[in-house]
Structure 1
Amino acid sequence: MGIISFQGARSKVKKQNDTPIKVSDYMTRDLITFRPNQSVMEVIETLVKNKISGGPVVNDNNELLGIISEGDCIKQLNESRYYNMPIDDAKVENFMARDVETIDGNINIFDAANKFLQTKRRRFPIIEDGKLVGQISQKDVMKAALKLNSQHWRDL
């Protein structure tokens, strides 16, 4: 009588190269962008309509100039009311954040998660060859975590 094994089939452990764990695998590529000469009211309408909290400001060559957020828009609303100034003339370039930190699309999604924790930012633009190619948000990192949840974290 032969030896009977009660050990079932084992699943193969995926190699790191088989598992999408780079920022570029999870970033949003189809972005709503703004122009520096747009009115803040247009931005507010777009943010509300699309249920987003901000977006990149780019020039005609799709080069990143800044980011405009809900907070920037609220600041403008508050100032226009306080100083009794018309909001229709307010332009994005006067209220956007210009010192924008970007992130490399080739870094590991977990390194991006750490960067979010360290900086308290909600989103990072991704630049390639001087052009805006995408954006990674905290929500994108959480989506990646859900997708990768079925695998062992230490194997990634």
Structure 2
Amino acid sequence: MVKSFQGVRVVEPKTPIQQILVRDHMTTSLVTFKLEDSIDQVLELMTQRKISGGPVVDEAGGLVGIISEWDCLAEIIRGKYTNTIRFPAKVKEHMSTEVITVSPDLSLFDAAQKFLEHKIRRFPVLKDGHLVGQISLSDVIRAFPKLKHTTW
């Protein structure tokens, strides 16, 4: 018969698991676009602010779409064929209207899964139907190296 003695064990208090939520990593100072903005205006603002797209809101501030660099490419190509450097088309003609949104209370892991599933670069964040921010793929990637491995 073998007897083993491990000594007195110190029970470490369990620390609550840190909730890693979209709200803590989303951008809240958003650049938004209007339906009647021209693609010229969008391209200028995206270049100035170094962004690749943003939410499109109506007059009441409600989310109606997303405009991205990809959406603007069609107008740029059309400019090539019409031999013009102006892009007068309106945001409403090129924006994506099927917008997938997330809640600020969604875990960052679930948001990461949504990015993988949908292969898009940004999700508007809605709370009670109101636009409160945006989480981008870059926001998610930047968040994980800062987390402690014991809090996952």
CA deviations over 1:79-136 (Å, ceiling 9, x no partner) = 1322457744311111111111111211110111111111111010011222211001
In 2, are the aligned partners of 1:54 and 1:68 still within 8 Å (CA)?
Answer: yes
Unpaired runs of 5+ residues, structure 2, are 1-8
TM-score (norm. length: structure 1): 0.82
Deviations 1:6-35 (A, max 9, x none): x9x99865312xx24011111111100000
Q: Are the equivalent residues in 2 in contact too, given 1:125–1:134 (CA < 8 A)?
A: yes
Match of 2:111 in 1: 112
Question: Whole-Å Cα distance in 1 between the matches of residues 20 and 29 of structure 2?
Answer: 20
Structure 1 residue ranges (4+ consecutive) displaced by more than 3 angstroms after TM superposition: 9-14, 83-88
Q: Does 1:151 align with 2:149?
A: yes
**Is the partner of 1:135 in helix, strand or coil?**
strand
Question: What amino acid is the match of 1:141?
Answer: V
Structure 2: which amino acid aligns with 1:47? M
Q: Matched residues in 2 for 1:11 and 1:43: separation?
A: 55
Aligned counterpart, 1:67? 66
Corresponding position of 1:128: 127
> SS of the residue aligned with 1:126?
strand
Q: How many angstroms does 1:45 deviate by? A: 0.4
1:70–1:96 distance in 2 versus 1, CA, 3 Å = same
Q: Give the distance between the partners of 1:75 and 1:151, measured in 2 at CA.
A: 44
**1:93 aligned onto 2:69:** no
Q: Which amino acid aligns with 2:16?
A: K
CA RMSD of aligned residues (A): 2.2
Q: Secondary structure at the match of 1:72?
A: helix
The letter for the 2-side match of 1:21 is I
Give the SS at the match of 2:15: coil
Contact 1:61-1:131 at 8 Å conserved across structures = no
CA change 1:146–1:83 in 2 (3 A) is same
Which residue number in structure 1 is paired with residue 16 of structure 2?
A: 15
Instruction: Give unpaired runs (5+ residues) of structure 1.
Output: 1-6
**Alpha carbons of 1:10 and 1:82: their partners in 2 closer, same or farther (altered >3 Å)?**
farther
Partner of 1:142: 141
Aligned length: 145
Matches within 5 A, 1:16-95: 16=17, 19-84=18-83, 87-95=86-94
